[in-house]
Structure 1
Amino acid sequence: MHYASQWRADIASSIAPLIARNPHVGAIMIGGSTSRDRADSFSDIEIGVFWSRSPREEERLAPIEPAGGVFWELDPYDPEADTWMEEWGLNNLKMDIRNMTIDGVEQQLSRVLNNYETDLFLQQTLSAILHGIPLHGHDQLKRWQERLVHYPAELSEAMVRHYSGEELREWCWWVDQLLTRGDIPLVYHSFNDAIFQVISMLMGLNQIYHPGFKWLRYSLSELHILPSHLGERIDEVYTRHPRDGLKMIRSIVLETYDLIAEHLPQLGKEIDQARSNFLHQRQQFEQPPSLPFSLSPSQESAS
């Protein structure tokens, strides 16, 4: 582990026993860039805390003073993410604490591993657990990580189906329209959307729990199946003229579809349809189309 990650891990290891004083804490881990040995000068320290029951506010705050920290923020329970989050500082270094119940993690594991749900937040949570460094409750975290080692083939197909579909329908036509009208901010927004869909498809194809979109160069380095020179091409999209960017993303998406058809041939018909939807161009009209009725003179002049 390199220096920036190691000293953050050391701080987390010193704080963990203070959190573990509570008997309802079943496991603690280091997450984020530190656990993956990617920390840099921008990195905070992410700690995952797993409880046998829902934590109370005073329990979440209890470790701050003994650790010499300063309270910053206490978020209420987020039912969609099934988490409680708080932030506090150690001489301005942010401690990002994410709390879940053990039962909550079990349910999320089941939703992804058994029901093959593709929700990005669920994927990120499981990715964090898989790469987490145990600080307390090692056996519990080991059991979760052992379950996550096997990535279901059904989940791979579900990810590809979900991210190859509606979000990219008529994408080429849409971006051509935006470029023609000069809506450049929306052009780059659409570039982002397409690239994120490609990355998500590739995560499923490569059977990797989606870690999110930060640290993209590291995520791409873990992929074995991907369009050639993908990272360099993505960078170039944002440095070339937007028209060139459109052409480059078009090629990237089509190459991704080809890879899916090659490695998941059972999805061949669905990928053919996704490709057709992606390339579909709506008809443009300079003059009124043929109509089953006649336009009035005022309507003709208005047109």
Structure 2
Amino acid sequence: MDTMPNRTQYLLELAKGNVKAYIANPKTKAVMVTGSVAEGLCDEYSDCDVCLYYDELPFEAELQLARQQNQGAELIEILGNRQDGAFGESFLMNGIEFQFAHATIAQWEAEISSVLERFEVPSPIMKMLHGTLIGIPLHGETLIEQWKAKVANYPDQLAQTMVEKHLKFFAVWGMQEKLAKRDTTLWYHQILVDSAQNLLGVLSGLNRLYYSTFQFKRMSRFIEQMEIAPENLGSRLESLFHDEPFIAVDQLEVLVRETVELVEIQMPQVDTASAKRKLGWRQQPWKL
């Protein structure tokens, strides 16, 4: 019987075979598998994410040679610009999509520093840092373990920056009558998505977790890592998108209130005044 671990192992073995042609290039200094393969969460729709690091990026001719050596690899697209120090390569093999991210060591270490030393929190890089923590080294293990150790040390200032960045909520709970009178379906759901992502962003900071809104998946598993969170957070976030709007917005307000309270307990230095002012607010109609 096919099981999830079997699918994971199948993709991991394919990845190990595919990277041999790239590792043969002396420019290649480190390679790791990340994503669902590294986490052991593969299903029959999973792709395979691989990160490759170089002193100098390979030329297109070198990439073509590697794909030729991986017989049956069918190029889908090249993403990004090598002049930026990194780009992506996507190809099909055995009906499975492989996404290879190519970067110079200098570029990747600069991106690590942008988050851990300058506390910049651009979404895709946060996802890549999480990917480093879970990554399975296939080549250059010493270098990859150095990165893992550095990324595992989540700075207090980064945690506070995450909280402050995401502690922003639109008070949709105060507009129930207004929403009922207007054609606001897209706007309403956009607010729900933004609010849910901001809740997760705040709580990620409190829990020292790398969080990215970019292609965010497997929410329940992510929330399970949180020691500091409102009770039953996962099911309550899911309910926001299934309940009637007048129920959902009230529940959102409760979640925001509980999250603000956690911030005040865990990070009393953070200014929560703006977020708290919106709690309990209800818009009143004007009269002629």
TM, length-normalised to structure 1: 0.87
Aligned to 1:273: 274
Kindly report the root-mean-square deviation, in angstroms, between the aligned alpha carbons of the 2 structures: 2.0
**1:98 aligned partner:** 101
Q: Which residue of 2 aligns with 1:38?
A: 41
Q: 1:299 — aligned with what?
A: none
**Counterpart code for 1:75:** L
Q: Could you tell me which amino acid in structure 1 is paired with residue 18 of structure 2?
A: I
Partner of 1:12: 15
Deviation at 1:21, TM superposition (A): 1.1
Please report how far the alpha carbon of residue 66 of structure 1 lies from its aligned counterpart in structure 2 after TM superposition. Answer: 1.1
**Amino acid corresponding to residue 251 of structure 1 in structure 2:** V
Structure 1: distance between partners of 2:80 and 2:229? 40
Unaligned runs of 5+ in 2: none
For 1:70, the aligned partner's letter is E
Which residue of 2 is the match for residue 286 of structure 1? 287
Indicate whether 1:177 and 2:178 are aligned: yes
Tell me how far apart the structure 1 counterparts of residues 174 and 62 of structure 2 sit (CA, whole Å).
54
Bigger Cα Rg: 1
1:74 corresponds, among 54, 71, 78, to 78
The answer to whether the 8 Å contact 1:175/1:187 transfers is no
CA gap of 1:175–1:124, structure 2 versus 1, over 3 A, is farther
Give 1:73's aligned amino acid.
E
TM-score, length of structure 2 as denominator length: 0.91
Distance 1:83 1:279 in 2: 47
- In the alignment, which residue of structure 1 is the partner of 2:149? 146
Asked if structure 1 preserves the Cα contact closer than 8 Å seen for 2:170 and 2:195, the reply is no
Alpha-carbon distance between aligned partners in 2 of 1:95 and 1:77, rounded to the nearest angstrom: 19
Which stretches in structure 1 are left out of the alignment for 5+ residues?
288-303
Aligned to 2:27: 24
**How many residues of Structure 1 are paired with residues of Structure 2 in the alignment?**
282
Separation in structure 1 between the aligned mates of residue 34 and residue 190 of structure 2, nearest angstrom: 29
Task: Report 1:108-119 matches (<5 A).
Answer: 108-119=111-122
Alignment-derived partner of residue 192 in structure 1: 193
Judged with a 3 Å threshold, the aligned counterparts in structure 2 of structure 1 residues 44 and 280 are, in CA distance, closer, same or farther, namely same
SS at match of 1:54: coil
Q: Which moved more, 1:46-55 or 1:200-209?
A: 46-55
Q: Please give the secondary structure, in 2, of the residue aligned with 1:22.
A: coil
- Pair 1:15–1:183, CA change in 2 (3 A): same
Q: 1:61 aligns with which of 56, 59, 64?
A: 64
**Distance between the aligned counterparts of 1:233 and 1:95, measured in 2?**
35
Shift of the 206–63 alpha-carbon distance from structure 1 to 2, 3 Å rule, reads same
List per-residue Cα deviations over 1:116-155 (Å, max 9, x = no partner). Answer: 1121112111111111110011111010001111110110
- For 1:278 and 1:142, the matched residues in 2 are separated by 45
* Match of residue 254 from structure 2: 251
1:49-71 deviation line (CA, Å, top 9, x unaligned): 11112332222333212112112
